[in-house]
């Protein structure tokens, strides 16, 4: 799909409250930009993300990104899949860090393209620290995280004053040997819980929430490949979460959304269906 060139971003006046010590509009050779690709739909990329992709000499990208997004980089740019998926990494994180450093030291403009947002379960913090330690300039371009993209696509508000006064984003994939998540923090019914990378731990997650006071009938939504043409949403109850995933053969990447806000999605679907029938 052809995308028109974007107009240049207007300069920030010197001394304004939003100015920075360096010109943040310039992608300098020998620097790295961590770019959030959003949840899947190329139309949800930010203007800055498209700009940086168009300037890249080297693109290190995650699995499952839409090919249309990869095509936004120049044809001559090197494209390297570094394969970040839960529990299945093409390269160890340390090797990815070193690639970023090596390409930048070679004077190239390096884009590290990540699904969702670089700083939310995207290892962006680790890469920023490694680059800073190596003296490599690094910019971060935020992206729409999967939870926000899924909420918008499904009409499923993550907070609602009649249902949830807060929302927690957690990962179900933890480093080996790390202590277990304190599920007592997520047991209140007035809070929506969104679990990234939680399919393999769904049975444990459900049992821990139930053990810490969540109602077995708490609504859950499992969103597979949010904001893509293959998006699928399956709803059920917390007590049967793991069985639902198995019965529906849900595959990664998928989000678990747990809380009474899920009923609002179901109400919206029913109202839309009623409008179509009438």
User: Residue 228 sits in a domain of what CATH number?
Assistant: 3.30.950.10
pLDDT band of residue 4 (cuts 50, 70, 90) is low
Average pLDDT rounded to a whole number, residues 198-210: 93
Final residue in a domain of this structure, among 96, 128, 144: 144
Q: How far apart are CA 131 and CA 53, in angstroms?
A: 19
Shared domain for 164 and 264, answered yes or no, is: yes
Residue 192 lies in a domain: yes
pLDDT (average), residues 9-38: 70
User: Which pLDDT score, from 0 to 100, does residue 175 have?
Assistant: 62
The reply to whether 227 falls in a domain is yes
pLDDT tens track for 230-251:
999 999 999 999 999 999 999 9
Answer yes or no: 84 catalytic: yes
Q: Do residues 162 and 259 both lie within one domain?
A: yes
Q: Do both 113 and 52 map to the same domain?
A: yes
With a CB cutoff of 8 Å and minimum separation 6, the contacts of 249 are: none
Ramachandran sector of residue 189 (left: φ over 0; alpha: ψ -120 to 50; beta: rest): alpha
What is the CATH number for 89? Answer: 3.40.1010.10
Q: Give how many domains the chain has, as a whole number.
A: 2
Residues 261-274 as b/e (b if ≥16 CB within 10 A, e otherwise) read bbebbeeeeeeeee
- Residue 114 annotated among the catalytic residues of the structure: no
Is a pLDDT exceeding 90 seen at residue 146? yes
Residue 237 lies in a domain: yes
Nearest to 112 by CA among 128, 132, 94, 134: 128
Within this chain, do residues 76 and 172 fall inside the same structural domain, yes or no? Answer: no
**Among candidates 265, 84, 230, which has minimal Cα distance to 158?**
265
Strands (E), the chain: 32-36, 58-61, 78-81, 84-85, 88-89, 110-114, 138-141, 166-171, 191-196, 219-224, 232-237, 254-258
Same domain membership, residue 262 and residue 250: yes
DSSP letter string over 53-100? HHH-SEEEE-TT--HHHHTTS-TTSEEEE--EETTEESS-HHHHHHHH
Average of per-residue pLDDT values in the chain = 88
Task: Catalytic residue, from 62, 66, 114, 117: name it.
Answer: 62
Q: 136 with 159, same domain?
A: no
Can you tell me the mean pLDDT for 18-42?
81
Range of the domain at 121: 32-144
Q: Which of 41, 57, 84, 117 is catalytic?
A: 84
Task: Quickly state the pLDDT bin for 91 (edges 50, 70, 90).
Answer: confident
| pLDDT confidence bin for 187, thresholds 50/70/90 | confident
Lowest mean pLDDT among 129-143, 165-179, 184-198: 165-179
Q: What is the pLDDT of residue 7?
A: 55
- Choosing from 99, 124, 144, the residue where a domain stops is 144
Examine residue 8 and state whether it is found in any structural domain, yes or no.
Answer: no
- Indicate whether 254 and 266 sit together in one domain: yes
262 shares a domain with 155? yes
Q: Does residue 66 form part of some domain? A: yes
Read off the pLDDT band of 20 (50, 70, 90): very low
Q: Tell me: pLDDT of 3 over 80.
A: no
pLDDT at 133: 98
Q: Are residues 152 and 262 in the same domain?
A: yes
Establish if 180 belongs to a structural domain.
Answer: yes
Instruction: Examine residue 74 and state whether it is found in any structural domain, yes or no.
Output: yes
Does residue 257 carry a pLDDT above 70?
yes
Write the Ramachandran bin of 59: left for phi over 0, alpha for psi from -120 to 50, otherwise beta: beta
Tokens of 204: 């444990």
Alpha carbons 111 and 34: distance in angstroms, whole number: 6
- The structure's pTM equals 0.84
Residue 277 falls within a domain, yes or no?
no
């Amino acid at each position: 799909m052809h995308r028109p060139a974007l107009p240049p971003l207007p300069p920030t006046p010197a001394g304004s409250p939003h100015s920075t010590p360096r010109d943040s509009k310039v992608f300098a050779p020998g620097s790295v930009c961590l770019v959030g690709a959003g949840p899947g739909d190329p139309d949800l990329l930010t203007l800055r993300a498209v700009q940086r992709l168009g300037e890249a000499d080297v693109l290190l990208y995650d699995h499952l990104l839409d090919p249309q997004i990869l095509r936004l980089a120049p044809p001559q740019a090197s494209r390297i899949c570094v394969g970040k998926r839960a529990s299945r990494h093409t390269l160890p994180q340390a090797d990815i860090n070193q690639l970023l450093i090596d390409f930048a030291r070679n004077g190239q403009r390096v884009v590290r393209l990540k699904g969702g947002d670089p700083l939310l379960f995207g290892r962006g913090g680790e890469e920023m620290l490694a680059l800073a330690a190596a003296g490599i300039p690094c910019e971060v371009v935020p992206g729409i995280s999967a939870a926000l993209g899924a909420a918008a696509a499904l009409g499923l508000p993550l907070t609602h004053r009649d249902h949830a006064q807060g929302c927690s984003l957690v990962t179900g994939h933890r480093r080996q040997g790390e202590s277990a998540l304190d599920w007592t923090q997520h047991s209140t019914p007035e809070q929506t819980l969104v679990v990234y990378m939680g399919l393999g731990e769904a049975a444990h997650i459900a049992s821990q929430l139930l053990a810490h006071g969540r109602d077995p009938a708490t609504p859950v939504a499992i969103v597979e490949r949010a904001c893509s043409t293959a998006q699928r949403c399956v709803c059920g109850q917390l007590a049967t979460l793991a069985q639902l995933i198995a019965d529906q053969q849900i595959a990664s990447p998928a989000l678990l959304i747990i809380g009474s806000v899920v009923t609002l999605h179901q109400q919206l679907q029913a109202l839309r269906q009623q409008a179509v029938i009438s």
